[in-house]
Structure 1
Amino acid sequence: MGRRKDLGLLAVRLGTGGVLAAHGAQKLLGWFGGGGIDGTGTFMESIGFRPGKASAIASGAAELGGGVLLAAGLGTPAAGAAVAGGMAGAVSLHWPNGFFATAGGYEYPAYLGYIATCVGVTGPGRYSLDRLIGYRLDRPPLVLLSFVLSAAGTAVVVARREKMLADQRREETPPVAP
């Protein structure tokens, strides 16, 4: 890969990783006007991700940890997969609102997950910590394992939320008289 492409990958990693890390810091640390673990946990609980505090920690860690690792180009497949899984969970939340973010849709988390997936699969490029350590954390088997585990974990979390919301809707629906 040429130096120009490596610089492009570096720019994508730094920009995307920085945005993700900031969102994760909101969730975990309460920075940048975020709710921190307690506030985010309460919100997560209210939208069906239970237990709320554990969901806040998982979501914040995927964003903060995944974002920092993507930006640094370290453990790139695992970082990309963690972010992709976290963003898939966010997409499931915004899905009913349609595509565009202006209507509360899933456009933004889908795009962040897409970029993280592309970087996780492509690799971090020359200007990365993965390269500095000889790409030991950026090998094809790790790419496959990372994305399979992330997809499986995300599927379980989203399915649990969907079931809980369906059960909740059934409980709230008044019985129909015969």
Structure 2
Amino acid sequence: MTCFDRRDLGLLLLRLSAGGALAAHGAQKLFGWFGGGGLEGTGAAMESMGYSPGKASATAAGLAEAGGGTLLALGLATPAAGAAAAGAMAGAAAVHFPNGFFAQSGGFEYPATLGLAAVSLAVAGPGRLSLDHVLGDTVNRNWMVPAALGVSAAVTAVTIGARHNRLRKARQDEQEG
């Protein structure tokens, strides 16, 4: 009998792929790596998308993606990591939502998929091939899942709601002016 099974291997592969993609996107925002805009360029883009202040929004999104993605890949603090990454992806999906579902049309397919993968990992746990398991699941307790997802959902709802209000006001000002 082995110390892990195919479920553990599947969770490891999901963590590495989703976590790696999230971490790379966060590094684009924070450091300008992999062709990203860094905090300045991403901040300006975030501002134009209605997330204000732009640089603070870029920092928050970059930290949630890079930090959450790295922790997911490692299988460490999985509930918090998954919740942070899912929140960032919900914010990205809100930007792409008007373009429909498919990514080739600029839709929300990609951020929704990464966000749901992050939530799934938060709920399922990282498996035995993880740092959480090695550390006795001290930062991966069952009660942490709803707590982390609840906090992330609340912060994300406020953030997306504020963006929606800014965009609506800008449209009204444009129509009046």
**TM-score normalised to structure 2 length:** 0.97
1:60 to 59, 62, 71: 62
Give the match for residue 112 of structure 1.
Answer: 114
Give the match for residue 86 of structure 1.
Answer: 88
1:128 to 130, 133, 142: 130
Give the match for residue 159 of structure 1.
Answer: 161
Counterpart of 1:114, as a letter, is L
Separation (CA, whole Å) in 2 of partners of 1:118 and 1:84: 10
Count of residues in Structure 1 that have an aligned counterpart in Structure 2: 175
SS at match of 1:140: coil
Separation (CA, whole Å) in 2 of partners of 1:102 and 1:20: 19
Counterpart of 1:20, as a letter, is L
Separation (CA, whole Å) in 2 of partners of 1:101 and 1:171: 31
SS at match of 2:126: coil
2:102 to 87, 100, 108: 100
Separation (CA, whole Å) in 2 of partners of 1:64 and 1:49: 19
Counterpart of 1:46, as a letter, is S
Separation (CA, whole Å) in 1 of partners of 2:19 and 2:93: 18
Shift, 1:140, TM fit: 1.3
Counterpart of 1:22, as a letter, is A
SS at match of 1:138: coil
Q: Is residue 4–residue 129 contact of structure 2 (8 Å, CA) maintained in 1?
A: no
Q: Deviations over 1:66-86 (max 9, x none)?
A: 000000000000000001111
Counterpart of 1:81, as a letter, is A
Separation (CA, whole Å) in 1 of partners of 2:4 and 2:74: 19
Counterpart of 1:140, as a letter, is N
Counterpart of 2:91, as a letter, is G
Separation (CA, whole Å) in 2 of partners of 1:74 and 1:174: 51
Give the match for residue 45 of structure 1.
Answer: 47
Q: Deviations over 1:90-135 (max 9, x none)?
A: 1111000000000000000000000000001000000000001100
Consecutive unaligned residues in structure 1, runs of 5 or more: none
Runs of 4+ in structure 1 deviating by more than 6 angstroms, as ranges, are none
SS at match of 2:176: coil
Shift, 1:143, TM fit: 0.6
Q: Deviations over 1:18-59 (max 9, x none)?
A: 111111000001101101011100110111100000000011
**Is structure 2 residue 48 aligned with structure 1 residue 23?**
no
Consecutive unaligned residues in structure 2, runs of 5 or more: none
**TM-score normalised to structure 1 length:** 0.96
Shift, 1:2, TM fit: 5.4
Separation (CA, whole Å) in 2 of partners of 1:58 and 1:131: 28
